[in-house]
Amino acid sequence: MSYNHRSHAFDLSVGTLESGPLNAITDVAGVHVGHKTRIEGDDTRTGVTAILPHTGHLYHDPVTAAVYTINGFGKAVGFEQVRELGILETPILLTNTLSTWRAADALVTYMLRQSPDIWTVNPVVGECNDSYLNDIKARVITPEDAFAALDSASDGPVTEGCVGAGTGTSCYGFKGGIGTSSRVVGEYTVGALLQTNFGSREELRMNGIPVGWHLRDQYKAGKAPGPGSVMIILATDAPLTARQLQRLAKRAAFGLGRTGTACHHGSGDFVIAFSTQRAQTIQLDHVIMDPLFSAVVDCVENAVYNALLAATTITGREGNTLYALPHDDVRRLLQLETSRRAD
| Ranges of the chain whose pLDDT falls below 50 | 1-5
**What pLDDT is attached to residue 4?**
46
* 141 contacts 101 by C-beta, under 8 angstroms: no
pTM: 0.95
Tally of domains in the chain: 1
**Residue range(s) defining the domain that contains residue 131:** 5-342
Nearest-angstrom CA–CA distance, 17 and 273 = 20
Looking at residue 254, what is its pLDDT?
A: 97
How far are the Cα atoms of 33, 195, 201, 213, 283 from residue 148, in angstroms, in the given order?
Answer: 11, 18, 34, 39, 39
Contacts of residue 328, defined as CB under 8 A and 6 or more positions apart, other chains included, come to: none
Backbone φ, ψ for residue 22 (5° rounding): -100, -10
From first CA to last CA, the distance across the chain in angstroms is 25
3-state secondary structure of 196: strand
> Which pLDDT belongs to residue 284?
64
pLDDT at 126: 98
Distance CA 285, CA 99 (A): 39
Q: Nearest 5°: phi and psi at 160?
A: -120, 170
Residue 5's pLDDT is 47
Among candidate residues 130, 135, 145, 269, the one labeled active-site is 269
Local structure of residue 154 (DSSP, 8 states)? B
pLDDT at residue 1 in the model: 31
Q: What is the pLDDT of residue 287?
A: 79
Tell me if residue 155 is catalytic. no
* 264: nearest Cα among 325, 173, 174, 175: 173
Q: Are 168 and 35 in contact (CB under 8 A)?
A: no
Residue 141 has a pLDDT of 98
Which residue in the list 170, 181, 229, 275 is annotated as catalytic? 229
Cα 9 to Cα 2, 63, 74, 295, 309: the distances in Å are 12, 36, 34, 21, 10
Residue 269 falls in the annotated catalytic set = yes
Catalytic residue among 19, 99, 170, 267: 267
| DSSP β-bridge partners for residue 94 | 49, 126
d(CA 307, CA 145): 22
* CATH number of the domain encompassing residue 334: 3.60.70.12
pLDDT of amino acid 12: 78
What is the pLDDT, as a whole number, of residue 315?
Answer: 96
What was the pLDDT predicted at 225? 75
Residue of 191, 186, 192 whose CA lies nearest to 283: 186
